[in-house]
Amino acid sequence: MSDDVMSMVRQMREGVPAGRVPARIFNDREVFEQELTKVFGKAWCFLAHETEIPKPGDYVTRYIANNNIIVARDEKGEVHAHLNMCRHRGNMMCKSEMGNASHFRCSYHGWVYKNSGELIGVPYFNEAYDKKLDRKEFGLVKVRVESYAGLIFGTLDPNAESLEDYLGGFQFYLDIYLKQGINGSEVHGPPDHWVAETDWKICTENFSGDGYHTPVAHQFGFHLGYFPSSGATHSKGWAVHIPDKGHGIGLGHTPGMPPFFGYPDDLVKQMHESLSPEQLELFSKTRTAVGSVFPNLSFLIQPLSLEPGDPGVRFCTMRLYHPIGPGRMEMWSWCLVPKDASAEYKEAAYQAYTLAFGQAGTFEQDDFENWTKVTKMTGSTLAREVDFPYIQGLGHEPLEDFPGPGFAVEPYVTEDNFRNLWATWARYMEGE
Amino acid sequence: MALADAEVRGSISDFLFMESLALDERRFRDWLTAFAADARYEVPVRVTREKLAEWELSPSSRIFDDTKRTLEFRIERLETDFAWSEQPPSRTRHYVTNVLVELTDVADEYLVHSNCLLYRSRGDDPNPSIFSTQRKDRIRKVGDGWEIVHRWAAIDQSLINAHNMSIFI
C-alpha cells in the first residue's frame, strides 16, 4: 500500500472514534485495489442462499472480490465452493449463472471435475501424461464455506475465525430475516442483478441502519402515505452493532404500532416457534429492520402500503454489493419469503418488494440516484481532503436492559453503527 | 403464427407508437390510459443459463410486477417534487419495431409481438442506458380504440447496465 493510503487509514483509526471519516474512501482506485485483498481476502463473504441450490447438483456462480466462484451442492447434499477456473490452463468452467450438473467439463482441453471439486478426468492421461499427473493435486481451487440459517458464506482466508465467531452474536438480529417461519426463509427466485457507478461501501453503510436518510431520500413514501412512518416520529427505535465485527442493524419503531404489524397472523404464530422470547419482544416492536453483515451483505424487512394509510405488506430483501472497480459495483438483490407462508402472502410480499426495491423499486431508484452522485463527488481532487462528520450519538452509553446482544442505543437515528463499520474497515485495511 | 389483417396491424401499431410517445413526452397519466383496468405489467428477470436449461427468463422473479394500480403508484410518485431518481428527468426514446399482430382465440384480442429499443439519457452523463427488449403485449379492442391487457417485456441483458430503472418500457 502506498504511504499516502496507509497514512489515510492510520488517521482514520483515530478519526473514526472522534466522528470523522475521509470522503476519499468512497471513490479511490488504490483503496479499491487494497480492499480486494485486505477486506475481501480476509472476511467471510456471502455466496448464496441454500434455497438457491436445493437439489444435489444444483449450482450458482458468484464472486468474492474478483474471484468467480462455483457454489455447488454435491450428490450427498454437501455444499462446496471452488474457483470457477480449470487447473490446467485457467479456462472458465461454468459459464452460466445457475444450473444443475454432477460434473464440470472444461471446454478447452476437456479436464473433468466432480461438483465437489475433485479432478476425475484427464484426456490422453496415459498417452500424453504417461500417467504421471497426480490428479489429487489438481482439483479445483477450494474456498472454505460455512453457513448460518440458510446463508452460505465463503472466505479466502484459511486462517479466518469460524463464521459463528465472525458473526459474533449478530445471528440474533439476522433471524428476523431468516427465521420468518418455522422452516425459515427462501429466495423467491433468482436475484435482480445490475451494474451501478456506486461504491459498495455506501450501500453497506446505508443498510447498517441509516434511518436518517429515509424521510428525505424516500420522502414520497411519507408524503403519499405509502410508508407507514411519520417524519415526526421516524427517529424512534434502536440501533445495534457488534463491536469490532462491523455488523450493524437499525430497528425503526412507530409509536403506537400494533405488535408485529404487517405480518399475517399465521406467520406471527410460526415466529413464536422459530424465535426466542427476547427476539419476539424486540421484533414485535420493529417496523423496519435494516442491517448489514460486514463487508457487503445487507437485509431489510419493512411494510409497504399499497393504498395510502394501509398497514401495509411486509417484504424482506437481501442484497449483495459486489465491488468491480473504484466506485463501481454489481448489485444483487433477492426477495426472501417465509417458506411456510401462504402462496398469497408470498406473492403479495414479492410484489411489494418489486414496487419498493429491486432495480425498478421506487425506494431503490432514489437510493442509487443519490449513491451514484455520492460516488461521483467523492472521487474529486478537492473531496480527497475532506472529512465527513459521524458524530450522531457520540458518547452515548449503551442501553443496559436491551434484549439482544451487542452495543445497543436509542434512538434509531444515530451513527454509532457506522463508526463501528468504519473502524472495522480501517482495521482490515491496516491488515490487523 | 396466424396474423391479423393489415388494417388491424396498422391501427395497433399506431396505438403502440402513441403509447410510447406519451412516455417519451413524460405524459404519464395519458400513458396510463392505454392500460385496461385489469392490466398486468411484467418484466421478468433474465438469467444466463445453458442452452438446454428449462428457462432463461425466471418464472418467479420480475423487475416489474405491476397492476394498473401499482403503475399509478409509480406515477403519483413521479408527480411529487421528490422522486429523486427522475430529478432532473431522464430523456427517453422508445424505438418500437418488428410489430407482428397475432390472432388469439378471443375475438378482438390480439397478441402483439414487437421489439422495443429503449434509450435513456440522464443529466450530463455522455453514456446512455440502452435496454433492448422483446415485448409481447395482449391488446384488446375497446370501442374505436385499444387497451393493453398485459404488457410483457423481456430485457436482453442478464446483468443490466443501469443504476436503476426509473422509467417504463
Q: Which three cell numbers, joined as nine digits, stand for B81?
A: 417534487
Query: Could you tell me whether strands A151-155 and A44-49 are parallel, antiparallel, or unpaired per DSSP bridges?
Result: antiparallel
In this predicted structure, what is the pLDDT of residue B56? 97
Distance of residue A336 Cα from the nearest chain B Cα, in angstroms:
11
In this predicted structure, what is the pLDDT of residue A115? 97
In this predicted structure, what is the pLDDT of residue B115? 98
**CB of A195 within 8 Å of any CB in chain B?**
yes
Query: Which of B61, B70, B76 is closest, CB to CB, to A188?
Result: B61
Q: What is the ipTM of this complex?
A: 0.96
Distance of residue A216 Cα from the nearest chain B Cα, in angstroms:
8
Torsion angles phi and psi, residue A279, rounded to 5: -65, -40
Distance of residue B122 Cα from the nearest chain A Cα, in angstroms:
10
**CB of B57 within 8 Å of any CB in chain A?**
no
Torsion angles phi and psi, residue A365, rounded to 5: -55, -45
In this predicted structure, what is the pLDDT of residue A307? 86
Query: Which of A99, A220, A226 is closest, CB to CB, to B49?
Result: A99
Query: Which of B60, B82, B162 is closest, CB to CB, to A219?
Result: B82
In this predicted structure, what is the pLDDT of residue A310? 83
SS3 B52: coil
- In angstroms, rounded to a whole number, what is the distance separating the alpha carbons of residues B157 and B154? 9
- The burial of A294, by beta-carbon neighbours within 10 Å (0-12 exposed, 13-18 middle, 19 or more buried), is given as buried
Looking at B25-161, list the stretches that DSSP marks H as alpha helix, in order from N- to C-terminal side. 28-32, 68-78
Query: Which of B53, B58, B83 is closest, CB to CB, to A189?
Result: B58
Mutation choice for B interface testing from A60, A103, A223, A366 by most B CBs within 10 A = A366
**CB of A164 within 8 Å of any CB in chain B?**
no
**Does an H or E element contain A391, and which?**
none
**CB of A365 within 8 Å of any CB in chain B?**
yes
CB contact under 8 A, A193 and B165: no
Q: Which of residues 119-158 of B touch A (CB under 8 A)?
A: 158
Write down the pTM of the prediction: 0.97
Residue in B closest to A347 by C-alpha:
B60
In the 8-state DSSP scheme, what is residue B5? P
**Cα torsion for B25, B29, B32, B34, to the nearest 10°?**
-70
Q: What is the mean pLDDT of each run of 10 residues along chain A (432 residues)?
A: 91 97 97 97 98 98 98 98 98 97 98 98 97 96 98 97 98 97 96 98 98 94 88 93 98 94 94 97 97 98 89 94 98 98 96 97 97 98 96 96 97 97 98 84
In this predicted structure, what is the pLDDT of residue A306? 87
- In angstroms, rounded to a whole number, what is the distance separating the alpha carbons of residues B18 and B1? 25
Residue indicated by cell numbers 450530463: B124
Which residues does chain B have within 8 Å of residue A51's beta carbon, measured at their own beta carbons?
Answer: none
Which residues does chain A have within 8 Å of residue B76's beta carbon, measured at their own beta carbons?
Answer: 224
**CB of A108 within 8 Å of any CB in chain B?**
no
Cα Rg, chain B, nearest whole Å: 16
- In angstroms, rounded to a whole number, what is the distance separating the alpha carbons of residues B35 and B47? 28
In this predicted structure, what is the pLDDT of residue A230? 85
CB contact under 8 A, B162 and A365: no
Extract the residue ranges of chain B whose pLDDT is less than 50: none
Which residues does chain A have within 8 Å of residue B86's beta carbon, measured at their own beta carbons?
Answer: 365
Which residues does chain B have within 8 Å of residue A99's beta carbon, measured at their own beta carbons?
Answer: 49-50, 53
- In angstroms, rounded to a whole number, what is the distance separating the alpha carbons of residues B127 and A378? 20
**CB of A222 within 8 Å of any CB in chain B?**
no
